[in-house]
């Protein structure tokens, strides 16, 4: 819809907008200083599971990245079977509706953002994103934001519970969701993923203490 009615002017406007935003320092593609988790290799499901050791949820530094009182379903959890996008990764996909608010799960400083990709853009790598260097030194990766919805900029200090942007469909071939993943270091490496659970996730955890695939969780208070 966005380009068929008036292809030339809209494409021109979009290209200008991208150029202007990139001059301001946004992350399009894979700039050398920003990790690109979507593009890097992953561990096998087996080696991932060997590292899937979760702390007690009540001791977790994380809150679910949604407002208190809503429910969210985990449509893909960590260390997925071979062939799925979370194979070898400590990531979760949380179902949400386009426009739902997404919050920071832990305190930190915004490392980079990208928000120029269009909605309903099913190309891997076209995820609108926020990466946050967290206070414990790890990096959190939030992906698939609605176009132009990201409310933070690189260098901003954020607190758990602070608005980051809106749920969307950029870079995903399936449904609207939030991809959330934590890893060590500045650059994404498959063997540096961090097993994460959430102290305010009210629902059934799996036997390791992580969130379970197809399980639904009520967001409790982030205290
Ligand atoms: Zn995902």
pLDDT tens digits, one per residue of 82-114: 888 898 889 999 999 999 999 999 999 999 999
Do residues 190 and 43 lie in contact, with contact meaning Cβ atoms separated by under 8 Å?
yes
Q: Which of 29-38, 45-54, 107-116, 143-152 has the lowest mean pLDDT?
A: 29-38
pLDDT of residue 187: 64
Q: Which position has the higher pLDDT, 17 or 206?
A: 206
Model pLDDT for residues 137-157, shown as the tens digit of each residue: 999 999 999 999 999 999 999
Rounded distance from Cα 91 to ligand 1 centre (Å): 6
Rounded distance from Cα 42 to ligand 1 centre (Å): 13
Rounded distance from Cα 85 to ligand 1 centre (Å): 6
Rounded distance from Cα 9 to ligand 1 centre (Å): 34
Q: Give the CATH superfamily of 38-219.
A: Glucose Permease (Domain IIA) (2.70.70.10)
Rounded distance from Cα 7 to ligand 1 centre (Å): 32
Assign 111 to helix, strand or coil.
strand
Give the distance from CA 66 to its chain's centroid: 12
Cα 42 to Cα 122: distance, rounded to the nearest angstrom: 20
Cα 98 to Cα 177: distance, rounded to the nearest angstrom: 8
């Amino acid at each position: 819809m966005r380009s068929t009615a008036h292809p030339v002017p809209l494409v021109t406007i979009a290209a200008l907008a991208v150029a202007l935003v990139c001059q301001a320092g946004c992350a399009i593609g894979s700039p050398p200083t920003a990790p690109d988790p979507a593009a890097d290799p992953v561990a096998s499901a087996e080696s991932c599971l060997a590292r899937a050791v979760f702390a007690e949820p009540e001791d977790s530094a994380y809150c679910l990245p949604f407002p208190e009182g809503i429910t969210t379903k985990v449509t893909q959890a960590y260390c997925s079977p071979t062939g799925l996008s979370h194979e070898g990764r400590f990531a979760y996909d949380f179902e949400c509706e386009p426009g739902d608010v997404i919050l920071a799960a832990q305190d930190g400083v915004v490392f980079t953002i990208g928000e120029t990709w269009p909605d309903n853009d099913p190309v891997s790598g076209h995820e609108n994103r926020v990466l946050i260097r967290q206070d414990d030194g790890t990096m959190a990766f939030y992906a698939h934001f609605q176009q132009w919805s990201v409310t933070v900029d690189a260098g901003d200090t954020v607190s758990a519970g602070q608005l980051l942007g809106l749920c969307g469909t950029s870079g995903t071939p399936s449904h609207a969701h939030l991809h959330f993943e934590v890893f060590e270091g500045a650059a994404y490496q498959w063997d540096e993923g961090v097993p994460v659970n959430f102290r305010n996730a009210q629902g059934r955890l799996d036997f390791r203490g992580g969130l379970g695939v197809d399980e639904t969780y009520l967001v409790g208070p982030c205290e």
